């Protein structure tokens, strides 16, 4: 290399991908003119950075540039869109499983390499033992030297194992200062003994373990260099004597940014670079004036003030590092597919896992966590937000509690109003949002907020969730229940709600000491209570990429008009990992399907209502499966049904007819319209059974239906034949034995305790009509669009409540009751059913090829209709519904698959969903999303 080329290798200059053509032109000029050795990219976008980087590297073809980023918590530190924003170091300091930090380092490295970066200015190994630190603070893993060192090592090892150089900073330790070196030169007055024991400890450890680079801070430390005003960056006693000789570091040494005021305001451009080289630094980072710096260095070499060998020494280190980075065979970076590569399922899964392991239950004096549904008079209050926080929205997945808001400043009027509204509650779950990371402004907590919280804590039991810096705990020593969540992003709020209700456990430990009540290492582990959680497919061994086939199939069936829309949910290992809504309520596309919308479940009612009720009554000793049902329904005495048993009915082996079209007997023979002999447009004592708006059936007609069932013929044998009639009978039995209507009984026993607030018969009583997906344009009985009224004609004539049909729900509700079954009857701190009861009802009935008690199962009989995909285990159970619904639970793989649609809209004669086996095809795609070995084994 020529002298100019060698000098150029010592500079790393600033580059942005969002500053426009003038900036780009200036970077190109500096590369051409000065043979710049490295670029440090800052703000911008991934695609633009790759585009510019490929252009810049072409200009540096002889020796490709080393590309760095200051990406301590990954690309999210620099890019605001299109990347995953990972937790900051202080949050990671709370994680107890350090193998996760290694995985984190690997993932950060993978993403950096994808955008053309070979070196990351991380980890921050500073030990943050000053709560007032304005520059390190949340960028440090905490105050404990062993915790900081261990996590720094794991982060370093993860990055370097994947081929990205790590850089320990800010040598010799920037943690104990209250001055920001971006603006002034901090002074640290610790003794040499203290520095060696604390600040230098992580650097010495990482150097011994092979870290590839170190960044020297702009600090004044008299114990290391007693010359007045000398920054460590420019001190040969620090860089050469301490770092190089005493600690034995022979990797790359970077200055901190030379444009920072800690050095820039005290040393003129050009001179600061000379002093940095004389001190022993290899790479001059972000010079204020490259032209001047380059020329001063060249002039000093020519004048013999700097020996050329000093330049060569650093250039050799730079070239060795570039060789290790693979820049000797540099290839341009591929632009296509960068978004999907960066945001793959594994990357998102890792963020989930890191946050889950960091959430810290600091105190729980009354042992309230995890919260048990319905056992507390509780409300939530979000402070610092003008709209419902995502935390509050997520809480409603577990319990419908009143939700209140307060701004970041609380006036006396607001205070009085809030205290009045909260008076009737015993417990207040307070979440703090919109906080700051810095102590200079009370971490974003206004004095009025602190005053209000102290008053509230005197009156109520406050459960405090801090979505911000743990140093803010200094204001909350008087609070007995405190959770620190560290960050305020959507995912952290989501997971905090899950931890509070026990879907996941608290595992984090405070990484800093704030007060005696909030000290380093504090944190309480809680046990999960088997509520359903929410995560991503990769957390449970599934592939997000493979699940795209699910989307393709659903979009295909909508395009073919097998159904206008759908909801889908996949849960595995107790976590919902895929929940989506597709299409619209109708083909008019006026309302898209939404998360809370409910569908008519049709025959899924049989297992979600009737079978559940029988299981509970059986377990309570009020029903027997083998006892003739005449015991429960004395009016069957003398009929052909008196000797039937629930066992026969629930396995569809009672000889019952499949169904009876009850409505036809109430139609006028001439007009083929509902006969006025049976229906009235007005509700009255005589006509009280509401079939539709302005359509009321004669009050005594449900008894007529019941008599028609009693009088109905039986088939000549009791071979398997699916029948609705048996579940009309079951509904009547549940009512007689429990003393309550079926809908009320299952609501009290299951739906309300499970917080299945949108699972209901006759949904118009509680749910807005626009949130109920229509099922059909009825042109044969009710002659109107069915929305909120059960599609099944017989159930409609039973006031909307029957054992075989009538239930409405959505995926988010249904998963709870079926997860309860997977949990052997336990959910959210309550035992709903005994394990032996569930095993009895969900096992294949002796002699049946596809039935348990109430539940459908995988068809084993050859050459029969396939009701589930071939990968389903023989122990799977579930049911499908006429309207285009199904629920399947596979205990062997701890898998729940729920698909809801209104394939019957606008007409039930549309059979494409069944003909094309879409529900089964989607189910197969779900199984194929497991790790490849699973599908290979099954195949």
Q: Which of 300, 293, 249 is nearest to 269 (CA)?
A: 293
CB-CB neighbours of 919 under 10 Å: 25
Q: Where are the alpha helices (DSSP H) in 271-381?
A: 271-279, 290-302, 308-324, 338-342, 345-358
- Per-residue model confidence as pLDDT tens digits over 434-481: 999 999 899 999 999 999 999 999 999 999 999 999 999 999 999 999
Least Cα distance to 914 among 877, 876, 891, 884 occurs for 884
Identify the pLDDT of residue 864: 74
How many whole angstroms separate alpha carbon 255 and alpha carbon 239?
A: 10
Residue 396 pLDDT > 80: yes
Q: What's the pTM? A: 0.94
* Structure confidence at residue 134 (pLDDT): 85
Rounded to whole angstroms, the Cα distance separating 261 from 265 reads 5
Tokens of 589: 């596309």
Residue 84 has pLDDT above 80, yes or no: yes
Q: Hey, what's the torsion of the CAs at 765, 809, 706, 730, to 10 degrees?
A: -130
Instruction: Grade residue 826 by pLDDT with cuts at 50, 70 and 90.
Output: very high
pLDDT number for residue 475: 98
Contact 513, 506 (CB under 8 A): no
Give me the phi and psi of 279, to 5 degrees please.
Answer: -70, -25
How confident is the model over 741-778, as pLDDT tens digits? 999 999 999 999 999 999 999 999 999 999 999 999 99
Strand order from edge to edge, sheet including 575-583: 533-534, 575-583, 565-572, 895-901, 885-890, 877-881, 856-857
Rg (CA), the chain: 34
> Over 80: is that where the pLDDT of 374 sits?
no
From the list 604, 601, 567, the residue with the least C-alpha distance to 584 is 567
Local confidence band at 375 (pLDDT 50, 70, 90 cut-offs): low
Q: Which residues contact 407 (CB under 8 A, 6 or more apart)?
A: 383, 384, 386, 414
Cα gap 910→905, rounded to integer Å: 8
| Of 48-62, 352-366, 918-932, minimum mean pLDDT range | 918-932
Confidence grade of residue 934 (pLDDT, cut at 50, 70, 90): low
pLDDT of residue 266: 85
Please state the three-class secondary structure of 193-226 as a single string.
HHHHHHHCHHHHHHHHCCCCEEEECCCECCCCCC
Residue 376: per-residue pLDDT: 73
For 534, the 3-state DSSP assignment is strand
How far, in Å, are 703, 708, 762, 764, 869 from residue 684 at the CA level? 17, 24, 19, 20, 50
């Amino acid at each position: 290399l020529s002298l100019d080329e060698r000098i150029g290798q010592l500079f790393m200059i600033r580059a942005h991908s969002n500053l426009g053509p003038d900036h780009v032109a200036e970077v190109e000029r500096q590369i051409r003119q000065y043979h710049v050795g490295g670029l440090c990219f800052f703000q911008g976008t991934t695609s633009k950075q790759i585009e510019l980087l490929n252009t810049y590297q072409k200009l540096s073809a002889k020796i490709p540039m080393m590309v760095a980023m200051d990406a301590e918590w990954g690309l999210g530190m620099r890019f605001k869109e299109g990347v995953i924003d990972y937790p900051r170091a202080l949050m990671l300091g709370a994680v107890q499983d350090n193998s996760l930090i290694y995985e984190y380092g690997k993932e950060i490295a993978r993403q950096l390499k994808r955008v053309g970066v070979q070196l990351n200015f991380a980890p921050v190994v500073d030990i943050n033992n000053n709560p007032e630190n304005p520059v390190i603070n949340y960028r440090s893993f905490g105050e404990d030297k062993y915790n900081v060192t261990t996590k720094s090592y794991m982060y370093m090892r993860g990055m370097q194992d994947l081929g990205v150089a790590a850089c320990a900073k800010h040598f010799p330790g920037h943690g104990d200062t209250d001055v920001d070196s971006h603006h002034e030169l901090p002074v640290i007055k610790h003794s040499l003994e203290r520095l060696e024991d604390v600040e230098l400890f992580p650097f010495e450890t990482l150097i011994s373990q092979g870290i590839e680079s170190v960044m020297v801070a702009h600090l004044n430390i008299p114990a290391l260099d007693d010359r007045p005003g000398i920054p460590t960056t420019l001190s040969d006693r620090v860089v050469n004597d301490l770092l190089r000789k005493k600690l034995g570091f022979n990797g790359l040494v970077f200055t901190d940014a030379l444009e920072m005021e800690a050095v820039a305001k005290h040393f003129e451009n050009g001179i600061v670079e000379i002093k940095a080289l004389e001190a022993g630094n290899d790479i001059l980072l972000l010079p204020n004036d490259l032209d001047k710096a380059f020329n001063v260095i060249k002039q000093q070499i020519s004048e013999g003030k700097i020996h050329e060998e000093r330049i060569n020494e650093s250039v050799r280190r730079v070239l060795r590092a570039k060789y290790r980075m693979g820049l000797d065979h540099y290839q341009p970076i591929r632009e296509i597919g960068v978004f999907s590569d960066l945001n793959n399922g594994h990357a998102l899964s890792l963020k989930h896992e890191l946050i889950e392991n960091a959430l810290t239950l600091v105190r729980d004096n009354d042992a309230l966590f995890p919260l048990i549904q319905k056992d507390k008079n509780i409300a939530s209050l979000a402070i610092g937000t003008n709209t419902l926080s995502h935390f509050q929205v997520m809480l409603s997945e577990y319990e419908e509690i009143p939700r209140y808001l307060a701004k970041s400043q609380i006036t006396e009027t607001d205070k009085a109003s809030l205290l009045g509204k909260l008076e009737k509650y015993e417990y207040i779950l307070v979440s703090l949002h919109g906080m700051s990371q810095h102590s200079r402004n009370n971490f974003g907590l206004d004095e009025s907020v602190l005053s209000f919280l102290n008053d509230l804590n005197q009156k109520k039991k406050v459960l405090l969730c801090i979505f911000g810096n743990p140093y803010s705990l200094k204001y909350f020593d008087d609070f007995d229940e405190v959770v620190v969540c560290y960050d305020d992003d959507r995912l952290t709020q989501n997971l905090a709600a899950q931890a509070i209700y026990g879907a996941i456990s608290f595992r984090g430990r405070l990484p800093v000491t704030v007060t005696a009540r909030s000290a380093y290492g504090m944190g309480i582990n809680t046990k999960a209570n088997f509520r359903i959680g929410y995560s991503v497919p990769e957390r449970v061994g599934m592939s997000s990429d493979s699940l795209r086939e699910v989307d393709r199939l659903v979009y295909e069936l909508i395009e073919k008009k097998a159904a206008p829309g759908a909801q889908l949910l996949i849960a595995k290992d107790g976590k919902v990992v895929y929940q989506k809504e597709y299409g619209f309520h109708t083909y008019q596309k006026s309302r898209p399907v939404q998360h809370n919308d409910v569908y008519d479940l049709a025959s899924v009612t049989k297992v979600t209502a009737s079978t559940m009720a029988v299981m509970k009554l059986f377990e309570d000793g009020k029903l027997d499966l083998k006892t003739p049902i005449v015991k429960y329904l004395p009016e069957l005495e003398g009929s052909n049904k008196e000797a039937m048993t629930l066992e026969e009915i629930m396995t569809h082996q009672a000889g019952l007819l499949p169904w009876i079209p009850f409505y036809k007997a109430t139609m006028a023979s001439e007009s083929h319209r509902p006969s006025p002999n049976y229906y009235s447009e007005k509700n009255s004592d005589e006509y009280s059974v509401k079939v539709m708006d302005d359509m009321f059936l004669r009050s005594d007609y449900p008894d007529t239906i019941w008599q028609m069932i009693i009088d109905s013929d039986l088939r000549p044998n009791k071979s398997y034949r699916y029948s609705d009639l048996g579940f009309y009978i079951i509904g009547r039995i549940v009512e007689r034995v429990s003393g309550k209507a079926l809908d009320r009984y299952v609501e009290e026993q299951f739906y309300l305790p499970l917080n299945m607030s949108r699972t209901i018969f006759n949904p118009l009583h509680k749910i807005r009509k626009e949130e109920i997906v229509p099922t059909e344009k009825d042109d044969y009985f009710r002659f109107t669009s069915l929305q909120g009224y059960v599609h099944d004609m017989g159930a409609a004539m039973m006031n909307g409540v029957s054992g075989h049909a009538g239930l409405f729900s959505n995926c988010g509700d249904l998963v709870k009751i079926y997860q309860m079954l997977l949990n052997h009857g336990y959910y959210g701190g309550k035992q709903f059913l005994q394990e032996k009861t569930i095993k009895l009802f969900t096992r294949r009935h002796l002699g049946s090829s596809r039935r348990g008690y109430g539940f459908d199962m995988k068809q084993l009989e050859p050459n029969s209709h396939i009701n589930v995909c071939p990968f389903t285990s023989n122990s799977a159970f579930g049911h499908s519904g006429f309207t285009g619904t199904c629920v399947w639970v596979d205990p062997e793989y701890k898998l729940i698959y729920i698909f809801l649609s209104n394939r019957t809209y606008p007409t039930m004669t549309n059979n494409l969903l069944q003909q094309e086996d879409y529900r089964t095809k989607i189910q197969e795609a779900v199984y194929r999303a497991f790790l490849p070995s699973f599908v290979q084994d099954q195949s």
